[in-house]
Amino acid sequence: MTASDLPLHFQSATRLAAAVRAREISASDLLEHFISRIATHNPAINAIVWMNLDRARARAREADAALARGEIWGPLHGVPMTIKESFQWAGSPTNWGMPEWRENRPAETALVIEKLEQAGVVVFGKTNVPPMLADWQSTNPVYGQTNNPWNTKLVPGGSSGGSAAALAAGLTGCDAGSDIGASIRNPAHYCGVFGLKPTYGLLSMRRHAVPGGYAFADISAVGPMARSADDLDTMLGVMAGPDELEDACWRAHLPAHPATALKDFRIAVKLGDPMCEIDNEYRTKLDDMVRALRAAGATVAFTEPAVDTARLHELYVLLLRAATSARTPDADIARWTEQLAAVGKSAAPYLDQMVRGTSLSHRAWLPLDNERQKFRYAFREFFRDYDVLICPAASSAAWPHDQTGERWQRKIEVNGAPQATTDQLFWAGYSGVVYLPSVVGPAGITARGLPVGYQAIAAHGRDRTAIAFARAVEREIGGFLPPPGY
């Protein structure tokens, strides 16, 4: 099935916008189409957890009236859109899955969401997250559990799990997520959609924040999620740019990549690492993709940057937990410290790094940041010879829901043996800690009928190179496939 053969609700946002502009469907009717699907399918997956339909319907009518006057608001004119719950959208609940913030309804809208609205989207609802965006499953005490539309017994990923599930099930035209630990990339992988973690700092984090939050966290980024690479490109062009504090002195430059086909790409491949075992079923799909890349004429080499990946990962976890420590309660840090004392550092290396990271002094943080900058130069040199580096997005396809115990204690099955869920953070940090952009796109369906994705990392600021690669893969190998029954 090609993209053009898909039903309306599985079409890309750019195709939906084109249909509205061509008067093939009104923005109002398009919105009602998605609302009808939500009524039918959302109860089983709980991806969309809050909606303001009166506001959305009024906005859609305005979009239709503007078009009748010959006005086009932007490249996404009339496209119905959801956003991750953690983004402020004036008047909407923004509680990050935390009961104590249940009634938090900011009066302002996140800067990137404002930009998307200026480009024509019709925001109508919000998608689910784990508490404090701190898990690879999307379950919280406020909104409950989100299920993967490919198999409701499995997780959709996190923390943008509701976003990916809504896209996969055809409940929204596009979505916006955030990513500090693969929170865009991991759900895209588990649900079979596209996601971009942009170059750090390229998109403003303004008003994607907990109550009272103004400073932007290290490593963290916001970015687009969609059913096509074209959508990522369009949304990136809309969302990128300086923060309100910096817009007097700089502008975003997003260089395009000249390649129009896979044969034009120089591709490096890294399909494993001692730090994180990859399930054979997933590895098989990535191997199939590599063979398809070669068959398409691409230049492919199994190579990687000359870096100590064990140290890179340790550095990532330390800096990650330092970044999130600003919103971590003292009681949590005290509990983790007691748990570490009980089990020992060798039995729980992630817990050890987590505890150390949350309690770093600024003086201790500075040499770690300096070491990170050295790693960034190594990646810079590597990308002089390659356009993208292909690697896994996680250890396996989606896994069963599990809210028992602490995150560091939970296990998933990889090649018949238990693996700590937190081991998969290796593939999040590999590009994240050095601020590089990476796209996750569909790599196929496993023998068990689950989607898996590839991760395409590009050089700093070369977000559109990663997107161009994803577009070529989508066109020449394959892209989004809808889950059965939707």
- Looking at the annotation, which residues are catalytic? 84, 159, 183
Q: CA of 322: how far to CAs of 211, 362, 477, in Å?
A: 19, 10, 40
Q: Give the span between the Cα atoms of 249 and 144, in whole angstroms.
A: 44
Q: Give the span between the Cα atoms of 433 and 372, in whole angstroms.
A: 7
Q: Give the span between the Cα atoms of 476 and 467, in whole angstroms.
A: 14
Residue pair 415/451 in contact (Cβ under 8 Å)? The answer is no
- 3-state class (DSSP) for residue 268: strand
Which burial class, exposed, middle or buried, applies to 442 when counting CB atoms under 10 A from its CB (0-12, 13-18, 19+)? buried
Sign of torsion, CA 64 69 70 71?
negative
Strands 175-179 and 417-420: unpaired
Q: What are phi and psi of 66, to 5 degrees?
A: -60, -45
Q: Give the span between the Cα atoms of 427 and 450, in whole angstroms.
A: 19
Q: Give the span between the Cα atoms of 128 and 145, in whole angstroms.
A: 8
Burial 330-367 (b: 16+ CB within 10 A, else e): eeebeebbebbeeeeeeebbbbbbbbbbbebeeeebee
Alpha helices (H) along 344-409: 349-358, 362-382
Closest CA relative to residue 445, chosen from 481, 477, 415, 476: 481
DSSP letter assigned to residue 198: P
Residue pair 453/393 in contact (Cβ under 8 Å)? The answer is yes
CA 124 to chain centre: 20
Q: Give the span between the Cα atoms of 189 and 206, in whole angstroms.
A: 26
DSSP β-bridge partners for residue 226: 194
Rg (CA), the chain: 21
Residue pair 119/238 in contact (Cβ under 8 Å)? The answer is yes
- Which residues are CB-contacts of 67 (< 8 A; sequence separation ≥ 6)? 20, 21, 23, 27, 77, 78
Q: Give the span between the Cα atoms of 286 and 289, in whole angstroms.
A: 5
